[in-house]
Amino acid sequence: MQYRQLGKTELQVSTICLGTMTFGEQNTEAEGHAQMDYALEQGINFFDTAEMYSVPSRKETQGSTERIIGTWFKKTGNRDKIILASKVTGPFGLYQLDRGPFDFSKEQINAALEGSLQRLQTDYIDLYQLHWPERKMNMFGKRGFAYDPNDPWVDNFKEVLHALDELVKAGKIRHVGLSNEVPWGLMRFLQESERHNLTRVVSIQNPYNLLNRLFEVGLAEMAIREKVGLLAYSPLGFGRLSGKFNRPGEDLSKARINLFKQYTRYNSPQCLEAVEKYLQIAEKYGLNPTHLALSFVNSRPFLTSNIIGATTMEQLKENIDSIEVNLSEEVLREIDAVHAAIPDPAP
């Protein structure tokens, strides 16, 4: 396994991070425990979760992922071997949690954190992330920014950082990260932390894969120069880039992209065309399509960690093995040629 520095902290996190959002929905507790056992054996020391997981989020299963991680901590005593990341849910109409209103007020951040700590059976979280911004902006497949003059949000970056800073000083969280954020939001958080000597953002968790390289526009340079590295999620584009959807005879009845029809980001004709071209590159150079996609993400200089997720041990092993694959300059040039012809078909 390889390791990279988490922001400006002293923490070294594995380049492969275990994503856990299937625990409690597509994976049982026993399967989740087995995945964590194997990941740790392979040198993975970084797990990512959220208070709203499993996904898709339902009131009946909300928090199930954290509970499964918590029972694994209790059973194995491995809490001190894991750098643990979780998230507080922001305002978004699709989710039902046992608290509210969903905002980043001090009261709601504290309530969310206490719930996570209880489920996780731990007294601290290493990286606590804002799952998405409070304000209306372009995320989750929205390519453009549609300004809403009636958006009730007010600039509260300083207040949010104050609430998180208090939790850092109390020892309940060690570091702070963002998710689904854009350059302006990251800039404002960095400004306020510097102006008021508050805890500094150390990471940003955004989608990044061969079908969505929008992070490179604006955020990549910030990630490198400000040392706020990317935690890349959906590196396989909901499994599209594994190539399994293009092979006849595969049993895909349990695949997320088929089970949960509401997730349509990777279903456009442009996505399918781009995927086919990437599969042809993999075939030409004798590469596993999964390894091609994940190794590309691993190779990015702005990456801190690549969040992989799996529903089977076979998938998990295949994903983790990507750390051993290095793409040649020829392969990278052909990838960039496809990207130039079909740029970011899954925003």
Q: pLDDT tens-digit profile of 192-218?
A: 999 999 999 999 999 999 999 999 999
The closest alpha carbon to 310, from 299, 320, 322, belongs to 320
Q: What is the pLDDT of residues 104-117, one digit of tens each?
A: 999 999 999 999 99
* Strand-strand pairing, 229-233 and 12-14: unpaired
- Please state the rounded mean pLDDT for residues 17-25: 96
pLDDT band at 259 (very low <50, low <70, confident <90, very high): low
pLDDT tens figures, 144-184: 888 888 888 889 999 999 999 999 999 999 999 999 999 99
What percent of the chain has pLDDT above 70? 92
- How does strand 303-308 pair with strand 125-130? unpaired
pLDDT, one tens digit per residue, over 218-234 is 999 999 999 999 999 99
Q: Structural domain boundaries of the chain?
A: 3-341
| Span 95-105, average pLDDT | 77
Higher per-residue confidence, 256 vs 274: 274
CATH number of 3-341: 3.20.20.100
Predicted model pTM: 0.94
Q: Which residues are catalytic?
A: 53
Question: How far is CA 325 from each of CA 14, 170, 336, rounded to the nearest angstrom?
Answer: 15, 42, 18
What size, in residues, is the chain?
Answer: 347
> If you average pLDDT over residues 116-121, what whole number do you get?
98
Give the pLDDT mean for 75-87.
Answer: 98
pLDDT value of residue 330: 98
CB 52 within 8 A of CB 62: yes
> What is the average pLDDT across 298-308?
98
138: confidence class by pLDDT, cuts 50, 70, 90: confident
Largest CA distance in the chain: 59
- 27-37 mean pLDDT: 98
